[in-house]
Amino acid sequence: MQLKKFFSVVAAIGVAVTLAQAEEIKLSKEEMAKANKIYFDRCAGCHGMLRKGALGPWIRPEHHKGKKGEVPGTKELGTKALVDIIYNGTPGGMPGWGKSGELTKEEVELMAKYVQLPPVAPPEKSLSDMKKSWKVLVPVSKRPKKPETKRDWQNYFGVVLRDVGKIAIIDGVTKEVVSVVPSGFATHILRMSKSGRYMYAIGRDGKAEVIDLWMKKPQVVAEIRVCNDARSIDTSKYKGYEDKYAVVGCYWPPSIVTLKGDTLEPIQIVSTASYTYDTGEFTREARVASIVANHHKPEWVINIKETGQVWLYNYEDPRNPTIHMLMAERYLHDGGWDLSKRYFLVAANARNKIVAVDTEKGKIAAIIPTGGVKPHPGRGANINHPKYGPIWCTGHIGSNDIVCIGTDPKNHPKYAWKVVADIKLPGEGGGNLFIKTHPKCKYIFADRPVNPNRKLQTQFYVIDKKSLKVVKTVPIPKEYLKPAKTKDGKEVKARGPVHFEFNKDGTEVWTSIWGNKLEPTPILVYDANTLKLKKVIKDPRIITPTGKFNVYNTMNDIY
C-alpha cells in the first residue's frame, strides 16, 4: 500500500505514527526461534514466507516500489507503530493479535522487532525428504471391504480443531463425536475422495493425512509431510480415476505434489516458481492457493497465487504430467464451482476481481471486478435465482460486500459474468471469511469473525436468496462467548461464529465458536429455515473448532 494509505489505515484504528529513527534490533537465538514459529503459525499465510505480501502487505525492512507507489519498510516504521498495528489489527481484515489475546504483549513486541529484520530463508524439501515422513499406518489389505458402521457415514462432519492439530468426526444425525484423530498443525481444509470413503486433511505445516470413514471408529490410515507450509489438497475424480490419486498444493517450497490416493505414497513433485502473468517477473514464492478436480477431464485446476496463473494439471500420467497454463490475475486465492460445475470461480484478491475458468474448454471465460475489497469466497454460494438464473456469490475480507455474479452465458447471457447484486452487511468494515448455502435452504449464511467490532464479530448474517437482502442478524448467545482465562488471570475472548456447513439434506446449518486453546468451545446447530438453535455440541475434546465439512456435500461439491 502507499505510505499515505498506510497512515490513513493506522489513523483509523487510533494509532499515532511518525516515521521512526532506525533502531538497532537484536534478538537472541531463543527469541528468533520463537518469533519464527509465531510468524509461520499466524502471519506467513497472508504476508508470505519471504514477507513480500499477498493478501497482506509487504513487511520487509527495506522500502519497496509497488504499482501504487512506495511501500515503507518496517525498519522505517519502527517498533512502536508496528506494535500498535499487530496488537490492534486493521479495518482491512488483519486480526488484532494482542487485542484478541492470541499473542501476549511481550509476543507482540517480539514480532514488531522480528519483522524489522531480514526474513529467514525457509528450507527446501525434496521427494526423498518427503519419503522419510511417509507412513502407512493401516495397510490397504487390512482396511474394511465395506462400511463397518450402521451410522450414515456420508452424513459425518469433519471438524477442524485448528490449534490443537486434530480432526473431530461428528455424526450429523446423532451429533455424537465418533472419533478424534491427529492431523497437521492448523489444518486448512478437508476434502473427500470421489467415493466419499476417504477424508483428506492438509495442515499448514504441510502434513497430509487420509482418514478411512468406513471404519467403525474412523482413523488415520496414512500420512506424509510433503512440504513446510501448505493450504490445499484434493483427489482424482474423473471417471476411471476415482480415489486413485491425491494432490497437495504447497506454499513452501512452492510446488505441486502428486500422491497415491489410498496410501499417500509420493509420486511426483513439480515446482510452481514461475513468471508473473502480467509483468513477466520471476517469482520464487509462487504459492499454490486452491485446487479443485475437474468434472470434465482427468485434471486438477490449480491456482498459483503470486504469478496469477491457473494451471490445468493433467494426471493421466502423474510421473509425466502435462500442464496447460492460463494467464489470469493476481493474487489467486480460494474459490468454488458454479451450479453447472463447468466454471470454476476463484478470487484474485489483490485486484478485487473474480476469475471464471471454463474447465470444459480449458480457457478463461471472464474476469469480473467485484466492487468489494479482497474477495474471500471460501467455496462461495450458488443460487438458481428466479430473475438472474444461476448465480455465484462471494464475501469480502476488506469490505462489507456480499457480491453475486451471473454464471450462465447460455440461458441468461444478459447477466453472465456481471455483478447482479451487491449486498451490504450492516455496520462498517469487512471481516467476512465464509458464506454458504444449500439447494434446499432459502438463505445464504455469512460470518464476520475478523471484523474488529465486537458486536459485528459475534453475530452471523442471514441473506434471503430471492430478494438478495440481509433479512436477519443472529447474535450468538453470550453464554457461548464466555472468555477463557490464562494462568495469570487474563481474560481471552472467543472470536465468535466462523464457517458454515449444512447437513446432508440441507435442513440444518452448523457454525463453530472460534475460541482458543485454553478451553473447549461449542458447535451450534441451527434449523436452516426457522433459524432456531436446535443443538449445542459440547465436548472437552472440541478445542478451537473452525472449518466443518459434511462428507456428502463435500464429495458432491454442494455449496
Helix (H) or strand (E) holding 5: helix 3-12
User: What pLDDT, on a 0 to 100 scale, did the predictor assign at position 44?
Assistant: 82
CB 192 within 8 A of CB 198: yes
User: What pLDDT, on a 0 to 100 scale, did the predictor assign at position 119?
Assistant: 87
230-256 confidence digits (pLDDT tens): 999 999 999 999 999 999 999 999 999
- pTM: predicted TM-score of the whole model, two decimal places: 0.86
Cβ contacts of 154 within 8 Å, gap of 6 or more: 196, 504, 551, 552, 555
pLDDT at 493 over 60: yes
User: What pLDDT, on a 0 to 100 scale, did the predictor assign at position 66?
Assistant: 66
Confidence grade of residue 331 (pLDDT, cut at 50, 70, 90): very high
Helix (H, G, I), strand (E, B) or coil at 134: coil
Cβ contacts of 182 within 8 Å, gap of 6 or more: 165, 166, 167, 209, 220
212-236 confidence digits (pLDDT tens): 999 999 999 999 999 999 999 999 9
| Euclidean distance between CA atoms 325 and 29, whole angstroms | 43
pLDDT at 417 over 70: yes
Confidence grade of residue 317 (pLDDT, cut at 50, 70, 90): very high
454-488 confidence digits (pLDDT tens): 999 999 999 999 999 999 999 999 999 989 887 77
Out of 32, 46, 63, 325, which one is annotated catalytic? 46
pLDDT at 20 over 60: no
333 is catalytic: yes
What average pLDDT score do residues 97-113 get?
87
174-187 confidence digits (pLDDT tens): 999 999 999 998 89
356-409 confidence digits (pLDDT tens): 999 999 999 999 999 999 999 999 999 999 999 999 999 999 999 999 999 999
For 88, 446, 528, 550, the CA distances from 426, given in Å and listed in that order, are 22, 12, 21, 29
Out of 1, 49, 333, 385, which one is annotated catalytic? 333
What average pLDDT score do residues 111-124 get?
88
| Euclidean distance between CA atoms 346 and 222, whole angstroms | 30
User: What pLDDT, on a 0 to 100 scale, did the predictor assign at position 41?
Assistant: 77
User: What pLDDT, on a 0 to 100 scale, did the predictor assign at position 9?
Assistant: 41
Out of 111, 250, 376, 404, which one is annotated catalytic? 376
43 is catalytic: yes
Out of 94, 250, 404, 441, which one is annotated catalytic? 94
Per-residue cell: 170: 461428528
Per residue, what are the HEC states of 316-355? CCCCCCEEEEEECCCCEEEEEECCCCCEEEEEECCCCEEE
Mean pLDDT of the chain: 92
In sequence order, the β-bridge partners of residue 66 are: 69
Q: State the Cα angle at 496 between 522 and 203, rounded to 5°.
A: 75
pLDDT at 11 over 50: no
Out of 1, 43, 130, 404, which one is annotated catalytic? 43
pLDDT at 15 over 60: no
Spell out the domains of the chain, with CATH numbers in brackets: 3-114 (1.10.760.10)
287-306 confidence digits (pLDDT tens): 999 999 999 999 999 999 99
More confident residue, 8 or 485: 485
Out of 47, 188, 385, 438, which one is annotated catalytic? 47
